[in-house]
Amino acid sequence: MDVRTALRLGIAQLRASNVSSYTLAAELLLLHATGRTRTSLYSHPEDQLTEVESHNYFSLIERRGSGVPTQHLTGKQEFWGLEFEVTPDVLIPRPETEHVIEVALDRLALRDLRSKHSQNMSGEGLLIADIGTGSGCIAIALAKELPAAKILALDVSTAALAVARRNAARLGLSDRITFLESNLLCTVSQRSPLSVGLIVSNPPYIGHREAASLAREVRDHEPAVALFGGEEGYELYSDLITQSAAHLRPDGILVLELGHNSLPAVQPLLETPAWANVGVTNDLAGIARVVAAERASEV
């Protein structure tokens, strides 16, 4: 069978199975099964697949059609221009999480401007904590952008931390990231009080009550500990914000990703004397996606 026919049949099969973005999925699976580049796929559509390539490709199509996410079949997902290994032990990095990185970098630049430092955007002297690091995508993207910063990447899941460690090593960023098993910042608190300059987190924020409305790819294949924050979804934010206040240095920055309906529950938690300059950023769909605040200096 030639490449063009394989792609056409794969697309038709995924479409019939109600897979979203079926064309892209079939293309990614064909690239994965054959080791071809996208350019060669389209410049040589007449190329014949070997029997093994064809068998591998159509079994991937079958599994994708049954609900397995494309990223679990290819084992990877791009985030912030970097390629991350993903397994069923970690949340697949989402594009909207890139807003967390953008807001964090903007807030750091603003703080430096305000304090009249010559813009120290290397992260010199900066300690960052990423709570619920999963694949490590936020910690690693920040390590890449801030080449002198030190980062603590925390997660309750041992299995997720193993994936995050491998991602950091493959991307050559292990030396500045410490991975620690921790319930929020509890492990850190037991060791010593920290003076963190930036805390970032994309916590689990889906409510158990919403489980039935999730796509099967998410509900049946991504780790529950990465998805669900409690019955309503926003339950973890309260402890997350209290513990962050205890570890951030004065003028330290907190940047949190929000669930689609978390803002009304989360914003009041930041309207206390411990926090200043609270700001909300919408994602491309117009949903309040990131909330950021600064640790007030005098409390």
Ligand X SMILES: C[S@@+](CC[C@H](N)C(=O)[O-])C[C@H]1O[C@@H](n2cnc3c(N)ncnc32)[C@H](O)[C@@H]1O
Q: For ligand X, which stretch binds (CB under 6 A), given 5-13, 40-48, 66-74, 150-158?
A: 150-158
8 Å CB contact between 133 and 164: yes
The whole-angstrom separation of Cα 292 and Cα 172 is 29
Is residue 77 near ligand X by the rule CB under 6 A?
A: no
Is residue 137 near ligand X by the rule CB under 6 A?
A: yes
Is residue 26 near ligand X by the rule CB under 6 A?
A: no
8 Å CB contact between 262 and 237: yes
Given the complex with ligand X, which of 153 and 274 has the nearer CB atom? 153
- 103, 184, 258, 291: which one binds ligand X (CB under 6 A): 184
- 65, 123, 203, 252: which one binds ligand X (CB under 6 A): 203
Given the complex with ligand X, which of 134 and 252 has the nearer CB atom? 134
Cite the DSSP H helix spans in 45-185: 51-65, 70-74, 98-114, 137-145, 158-170
CA triplet 106, 110, 111: central angle to 5 degrees? 120
Using DSSP's 3-state secondary structure scheme, residue 42 falls into helix
- CB of 149 vs ligand X, minimal distance in Å: 17
Burial of 267: CB neighbours in 10 Å, binned 0-12, 13-18, 19+: middle
Cα 55 to its chain centre, rounded Å, is: 32
Half-sphere exposure of 35 (CA within 13 A, CB side): 3
- 183, 195, 238, 297: which one binds ligand X (CB under 6 A): 183
Binding to ligand X (CB under 6 A): which residues in 113-132?
A: 131-132
Is residue 198 near ligand X by the rule CB under 6 A?
A: no
8 Å CB contact between 163 and 87: yes
- CB of 160 vs ligand X, minimal distance in Å: 4
Q: For ligand X, which stretch binds (CB under 6 A), given 107-115, 196-204, 211-219, 274-282?
A: 196-204
CA 144 vs CA 141, 150, 171, 175: distances in Å: 5, 11, 9, 12
- CB of 150 vs ligand X, minimal distance in Å: 18
Q: For ligand X, which stretch binds (CB under 6 A), given 63-71, 141-149, 154-162, 166-174?
A: 154-162
- CB of 284 vs ligand X, minimal distance in Å: 17
Is residue 157 near ligand X by the rule CB under 6 A?
A: yes
8 Å CB contact between 205 and 233: yes
- CB of 168 vs ligand X, minimal distance in Å: 13
By CB under 6 A, name the binding residues for ligand X: 91, 93, 97, 131-135, 137-138, 154-157, 160, 182-184, 202-204, 225-226
